[in-house]
Amino acid sequence: MDAIQQHMIDSYRAAQHGELPPPLPGRHDWAVVRDVGDRRRFDAVMAGLPARRRWRTAVRELFTRGRHATPPDNSGRSGA
């Protein structure tokens, strides 16, 4: 029996008992992967090692850093 068939049986049983159906198979897989990474960072901090940010956060900061900075004034005039 594969995951879809098991989900169909569980959904049928939940409907018979008036309960909410279970989540679809694979629905929370990426959340679990992110949680594992968070746990590894937490364990690193507790062991006294440097914690690293999420890869996605680092990439977002890399691309948004230049947008918020003001361009330098190249007019040659003093700021007075």
Domain limits of the chain? 28-65
Cα radius of gyration rounded to whole Å, the chain: 25
Residue 80 has pLDDT above 60, yes or no: no
Confidence of residue 50 (pLDDT cuts 50, 70, 90): confident
Which pLDDT does position 75 carry in this prediction? 60
When pLDDT is averaged across residues 5-33 and rounded to a whole number, the result is: 92
**How confident is the model over 51-70, as pLDDT tens digits?**
776 667 777 777 887 665 55
Tell whether the torsion through CA atoms of 1, 30, 32 and 44 is positive or negative: positive
Which pLDDT does position 72 carry in this prediction? 55
Residue 79 has pLDDT above 70, yes or no: no
Average pLDDT over all residues of the chain: 81
Q: Which residue is listed with tokens 């940010």?
A: 53
